[in-house]
Amino acid sequence: MIKWKVGVYLRLSSDDGDKMESNSITNQKNLINLFLKKEKDLKIYDYYIDDGFTGTDFNRPDFQRLLNDIKEGKINTVIVKDLSRFGRNYIEVGNYIEQVFPSYNVRFIAINDNVDSYKDPKSINNIIVPFKNLMNDEYARDISNKVRSVLNTKKANGEFIGSVAPYGYKKNPRDKHKLIIDKYASKIVKKIFKMILNGKSKTEVIDELNKFGILPPRLYQMQDTDYNFKVTEKTKYWDSKKLDKILKNQTYTGDLIQSKKRTISHKIHKVVENSFDHNT
């Protein structure tokens, strides 16, 4: 009798439009555990959870850990609630369930889609499977297009769409798409420009900022917000890169520069520079 060592894969991402409670990590886990209680030959090895990772990209930390455990022979079965939890990239999903998993003799089960590559091998090649994968892919594309459209409209209306306000400003607590002056940080910005205009070198400005213990932008933003940046020795102090970012920031002239970078598409998450995107 085959010993089935199960990797339970759970995924959720607001980027994919996953807002329904039925798709929550807890509910996915409960549904799968209920299924496994009836299947006595299936034993859980581990849970693999990617919470907050889009289904269009398979470079997710716990999915990669799942693949590594498959290659090391730790698991030989992958179970998901349904195909959309596994992924929303039509080509990649098909590649994994039709090529990669079979090459490692891995059993694949998508409970709600009635897919079980061991009990019903034909279920993998059933026309319904690629159709559902295509629908999941198109759903992700549609969500991406709608989000881009909303953001473009907000930019056209002069609304701020960034996650972090530029140093010297903060988001208006009553409207996160509007910026208001940060009294303390704005004084530092003015001080920086004044020192430069008075003929001080960048090195002198940096030395003075560090001498008086003035926190650089990221550390300052972490004090009163939920933003969590990785703190290293380098991030604790002002340097030429941080100073240049302020001196070259057109926001201080009244221009709102947004979307300097973008992802290539809803599937290709490589970040590239926009040629020009400028709102005043």
Residue 149 falls within a domain, yes or no? no
Strands 4-12 and 42-51 turn out to be parallel
pLDDT of residue 269: 46
- Tally the domains of the chain: 2
Helical segments of 165-232, H only: 183-197, 202-211, 217-223
Q: 76 and 27 in one domain?
A: yes
Radius of gyration of the chain (CA): 25
Q: 192 and 124 in one domain?
A: no
pLDDT of residue 131: 42
Q: 128 and 49 in one domain?
A: yes
Could you read off the pLDDT of 161-200 as tens digits, one per residue? 666 788 888 888 888 878 888 899 999 999 999 999 999 9
Q: 128 and 19 in one domain?
A: yes
Residue 189 falls within a domain, yes or no? yes
Residue 146 reports pLDDT greater than 60: no
The answer to whether 172 and 179 are in contact (CB under 8 A) is yes
Instruction: Give which of 10, 18, 140 is closest to 65, Cα–Cα.
Output: 10
Does the model's pTM come out above 0.85?
Answer: no
Q: 137 and 12 in one domain?
A: yes
Residue 264 falls within a domain, yes or no? no
Residue 268 falls within a domain, yes or no? no
Q: Is 219 helix (H, G, I), strand (E, B) or coil?
A: helix
Q: Element (H or E) spanning 244, and its range?
A: helix 240-247
Q: 174 and 75 in one domain?
A: no
The answer to whether 99 and 148 are in contact (CB under 8 A) is no
Q: 135 and 58 in one domain?
A: yes
Tell me the pLDDT band of 251, cut-offs 50, 70 and 90: confident
pLDDT, average across residues 94-100: 88
Q: 119 and 39 in one domain?
A: yes
Residue 99 reports pLDDT greater than 70: yes
pLDDT of residue 256: 67
pLDDT of residue 255: 66
Q: 166 and 126 in one domain?
A: no
Q: 106 and 175 in one domain?
A: no
Interatomic CA distance for residues 54 and 52, integer angstroms: 7
Provide the residue range defining the domain that includes 125: 4-142
Q: 57 and 127 in one domain?
A: yes
Q: 181 and 67 in one domain?
A: no
Find tokens 């947004």 and name the residue.
258
Could you read off the pLDDT of 224-244 as tens digits, one per residue? 665 566 677 777 899 999 999
